[in-house]
Amino acid sequence: MRRLVLYASMLLLVLAPVAWAGSIALVLSENSGPYAEFAAALSESLNSARWQINYPGKSDSTDLPSGRADIIVTAGGEALRKTLASDSTTPIIATLLPRQTYEKILAEAGRPRSRITAIYLDQTPARQAAFLRQLLPDQKRIGILFSNETRGLSSQYRQTFKNAGLTLDSEDSDTPATLLPALNTLLPRINILLAIPDSSIYKRDNIKAILVTTYRFQRPVVAFSAPFVNAGALAALYTTPAQIARQTANLISSSSAALPAPMPPNQFAIAINPNVASALGLSIPDEATIRRAMLAEGEPR
């Protein structure tokens, strides 16, 4: 009987999925700011003798790590570009970049997708709809500016918002010259401007003009990053580098050799600018109240 139990236990061990273990090459677009935060959180989350993380950031360099790695984790668009240019066949997990950036880089590199996946920065339309409903429940008309970079997402947003009891209105802007005219056309028709990650529209040089224009129309901006809120947006739904790092660590620890499909972040953070709310005459719940309501609707934490 003991032999039978021992045999059964060994068989289960043999048949069970084997998680990766070994060496991780971490490639950062920069060695400071959110990338350094991501690196520290990933190292802490994978605090195990089974994993060795190597990244040039430890020596103040952005070069690719030397030596063999079992998996490569990239943080940011430039890190992914550099890694793909190296022609490595090592599996890659790309992080800290929007979905459109990831897909654009892969298209430029011509890289087969079977050995690469990503954890996007973008929040799903359903999560954004849940956030908007809790933030300003009486404001149903949502506006989005789309460019060539994000226009393919318009139908998904429109249908998801409709299912959530919201109405989506939009304008297109593909050049700096069309940005403010499109914004001036859109704002009178909506209650809230939802900014989504789009490098063609939300460039650093454009943010001030967008915020000034929306304030002139007394329309709040709901954004995708904490710095955007600090600059003058009403609120943001976003995911921190540490949260992305923890999700990356869980993916590495639980995955077999087959990579899953690219995925959105499974955790979120909320930022609110009370000064902007006061200036616009808006009474809104605090972050904790909104989070509890979203979790009650089934959103991951």
Task: Using a cut of 0.95, tell me whether the model's pTM lies above it.
Answer: no
With 90 as the cut, is the pLDDT of residue 255 above it? no
- Total domains, the chain: 2
| Same domain, yes or no: 279 and 178 | yes
Q: Are residues 133 and 55 in the same domain?
A: no
Q: List, for residues 80-137, the tens digit of each pLDDT value.
A: 999 998 877 889 999 999 998 999 999 998 866 678 999 999 999 999 999 999 999 9
Maximum pairwise Cα distance, the chain: 81
pLDDT digits (tens, 9 = 90+) for 219-254: 999 999 999 999 999 999 999 999 999 999 999 988
Q: Render the burial of 256-276: b for 16+ CB within 10 Å, e for the rest.
A: eeebeebebbbebbbbbbeeb
DSSP type of residue 75: E
Judged against a pLDDT cut of 70, whether residue 6 lies above it is answered with no
Instruction: Considering only residues 8 and 176, tell me which one the structure prediction assigns the higher pLDDT.
Output: 176
For the beta sheet containing 141-146, the strands, ordered from the edge strand earlier in sequence to the opposite edge, are: 167-172, 141-146, 192-194, 221-223, 235-238, 269-272
- Are 114 and 131 part of one and the same domain? no
Q: How far apart are CA 131 and CA 297, in angstroms?
A: 10
Backbone angles phi, psi at 170, to 5 degrees: -150, 160
- Cα angle 84, 85, 90; round to 5: 40
Please report, for the domain that includes residue 40, its CATH number: 3.40.50
Least confident of 2-16, 55-69, 119-133, 187-201: 2-16
33-55 tens-digit pLDDT: 999 999 999 999 987 657 888 87
Q: Rounded distance, CA 154 to CA 157, Å?
A: 5
Compute the distance between CA of residue 265 and CA of residue 299 in angstroms, rounded to an integer. Answer: 11
Q: Are 222 and 135 contained in the same domain?
A: yes
Residue 301: which pLDDT band, with cuts at 50, 70 and 90? low
Give me the mean pLDDT over the 268-289 stretch. 96
Q: Whole domain around residue 23: which residue ranges?
A: 15-120+242-254
Is 192 within a domain? yes
Q: Which of 77, 123, 127 is nearest to 103 (CA)?
A: 77
Q: What is the pLDDT of residue 186?
A: 98
H/E segment holding residue 83: helix 77-85
Reported as a single tens digit per residue, the pLDDT across 56-69 is 654 444 455 556 78
Instruction: Give the separation between CA 16 and CA 65, rounded to whole angstroms.
Output: 32
Residue 1 has pLDDT above 90, yes or no: no
First to last CA, the chain: 46
Question: What band does 258 get if pLDDT is binned at 50, 70 and 90?
Answer: confident
